[in-house]
Chain A
Amino acid sequence: MITVLLGPNGAGKTTAIRCITGAMSLDQGHIRILGLDPELDGETVRSDCGVVSAKPALFDRLTGWDHLTYASQLHGVAKAAIRDRVMVASTRFGIEHALDDQVGGYSTGMKTRLALARSVLHEPQLLLFDEPTSGLDPEAAQAVLALIRDMTADGHTVVMCTHHLVEAEGLADHVVVLDVGSDLVAGPPADLTRHYWPEDSVLIAVDSDPAAPTTLAHLTELPGVRRVEPANGGGDGPEALVVLDDPGVTPNVVAALTASGSRVRKVVPHEPTLEELYFAVRRSARNLREGSVAAPNNAELPGEESTP
């Protein structure tokens, strides 16, 4: 299972990871990791955690082999098993050919792979990744994310922080949105989406036409259509999010548009992205802070807030 901690810079994502391993003390509250309190049983907790920091935290003069044996020894891997563990981990992350090279000569992607290999050497139950794709090019970032996904196949639990919403999309089984040190929401993305967008809706795009906006607005007169909200799909013609009582009303909506002379370009069920969810949560939290009574599930339209 992969839990992704989302939040802007300073939200407390790195601090959360540091508190999980007991590297930092809590100001308030408590944490249980694998049934243990990290502040009291830090050594045991840290022995069962593999951490990759935002900076790869490597020594330029040492080789990849040196790093992996160093980590194995610190984590108490038996001397006889170290060689095998190093070979297995380095092969898995594709750095076995560079083990004898000094890390100073590694690319950023290789450094991240080495840090990932280092994090699994002692076979931890919990993996904590702090912005693992930071500084990587798109190909390398995608490869790293695929490796992280593969790790869950072995039964590892992964907690990953990021502020790159796109990379969290599809990866997260569970999402926690943090802000100023507290969690705003937590849960599986589908559940959270259903909470923020409880109504069925379809995104409809029509060809550019001076009458098109009016035609779209008049869809509210159709039975089963609750409301119509303009959307910004970036296409040639206008787009709208049509909120329905039931998805079965969609053919009627399309028929009505066609009958009015509009040429329908696109009809897709609206499935909010993680990015939309993130901004909806943040907007809702901001509204609450500012004392607004706006309901969180009211018309969270894509593109309404600029991307950070």
Chain B
Amino acid sequence: MNWHRTFTVARTDVKQLVLAKDFWMPMGILGSIFFVIVPLVLLMSIASLGDVPAVQNVADTLEVLPQKAQEQIKGDTPQGRTSYALAVFLFTPMAVVVPLTISTAVGAASLVGERERGTGEFLAHSPAGTKEIYLGKLMASLVPGYFTTMAGFTVYALIVNLSVGPEVGEWFFPTQQWWLLMLWVLPGFLLIGLSLVLRLSGRVKSTAAAQQASGLITLPLIAISYAQASGAIYGTATTTVVIGAIARGISIISTWRGMQGVNRQRLLGVADGI
């Protein structure tokens, strides 16, 4: 395993993405909607509305949350508690949806895209091993999604602290659970999704087919990840660590299997079934 070649493949792919405005602009907009626009509008609205019946109603619904989660909610006023709960609990899905959407869009086109452009021929004739190529592609797909998410998450944290912080009396975000979710749990789920999508990308005939099929994989994965991410946020730190460990374990197996599934014939488009 030559890591230098793996990083070379990954770096070249990422460079192409950076140069592809038509790719990163929609992805940037997607991240902005989830991490900036929706939270900003919602949290600022609650803060500016004050103690009105609508906010009181939302505050009442917080009682349906698990006891552990309720104990974490800070704030002395209904709008303060509501804003806190929304900031910490409601936006959990975006931590999953954004990176998975972006990364699978990249990953779906990675191997089949090489074949369609004819650049797979160059890789197939290069000394790079198929495992190195696969891992390079995996990294190149992981980085944009995870980077966008972390950048968006940083902005989101700022918005939450600026808009809800005064209500709670301190800058409180990210909470411990969110740190664990972003740094420990999310990479595992992202890798599971990507390893599946890349295997698919090596097997289908066209990028369009890969995009369609990757949707079938990512939708249930988003649902599962959402459920697990919610559990990680609502539950204890131990629960979060266990969920993350399981996700990472599965991702390692899935990645290993993906590495075995790529061969040069697939890059050339002459393997059986292509």
Contacts and interface: CB of A to CB of B under 8 A. Distances in A.
Given A24-B265, A53-B122, A66 B127 contact: no
A280 interface: no
Interface string A51-76: 10101111101100010001101111
Contacts of B122: 51, 53, 57, 71, 118
A24 B127 contact: no
A43 B129 contact: yes
A57 B127 contact: no
Contacts of B127: 43-44, 46-47, 74-76
B5 A59 contact: no
Interface residues of B, number: 27
Interface stretch (B15-23, B46-54, B85-93, B215-223): B15-23
Contacts of B117: 57, 59
B238 interface: no
B264 A23 contact: yes
Q: Lowest 5 CB-CB distances: which A-B pairs, in order?
A: A55-B118, A51-B125, A23-B124, A57-B122, A73-B8
B207 to A, nearest CB: 15
B41 interface: no
Contact of B126 (A55, A62, A66, A75): A75
A46 B123 CA distance: 10
Given A24-B264, A73-B4, A61 B20 contact: yes
Interface string B11-30: 01001100110000000000
A53 B19 contact: no
Nearest to A49: B125
A21 interface: yes
Given A53-B118, A57-B118, A73-B5, A21 B12 contact: no
Interface of B: 2, 4-5, 8-9, 12, 15-16, 19-20, 117-122, 124-129, 264-265, 267-268, 270
B125 A46 contact: yes
Contact of B121 (A43, A55, A61): A55
A227 interface: no
A89 to B, nearest CB: 15
Nearest to B18: A61
Contacts of A118: 122
A59 B119 contact: yes
A18 interface: yes
A71 B120 CA distance: 13
A59 B8 contact: no
Interface string A5-36: 00000000000001001111100000000000
Most chain B C-beta atoms within 10 Å of own C-beta, residue among A22, A49, A73? A73
Given A53-B121, A58-B119, A73-B8, A46 B126 contact: yes
Contacts of A66: 12, 15
Given A23-B268, A24-B264, A43-B129, A59 B16 contact: yes
Given A73-B5, A73-B8, 7 more contacts: A18-B124, A24-B264, A51-B122, A57-B122, A59-B119, A74-B5, A74-B127
Looking at chain B's contact residues, is the secondary structure mostly helix, strand, loop, or mixed? Answer: helix
A74 B268 contact: no
A19 to B, nearest CB: 11
B139 to A, nearest CB: 15
Contacts of B8: 70, 73-74
Interface in A187-221: none
A131 B204 CA distance: 27
Contacts of B267: 23
A58 B123 CA distance: 11
A35 B270 CA distance: 27
A51 B126 CA distance: 9
A308 to B, nearest CB: 24
A57 B126 contact: no
B28 to A, nearest CB: 17
A24 B129 contact: no
Contacts of B118: 53, 55-57
A23 B125 contact: yes
Contacts of B119: 57-59
B262 to A, nearest CB: 13
A61 B16 contact: yes
Contacts of A56: 118
A52 to B, nearest CB: 9
Contacts of B9: 74
Contacts of B12: 59, 62, 66, 70
A46 B2 CA distance: 15
Interface string A125-140: 0001000000000000
Nearest to A60: B117
Nearest to B121: A53
Nearest to B120: A57
B114 to A, nearest CB: 9
Contacts of A71: 122, 126
B118 to A, nearest CB: 4
A18 B263 CA distance: 13
Contacts of B268: 18, 23-24
Nearest to A21: B125
13 contacts: A23-B124, A23-B267, A24-B264, A47-B127, A56-B118, A57-B117, A57-B119, A58-B119, A62-B16, A75-B126, A75-B127, A76-B5, A128-B125
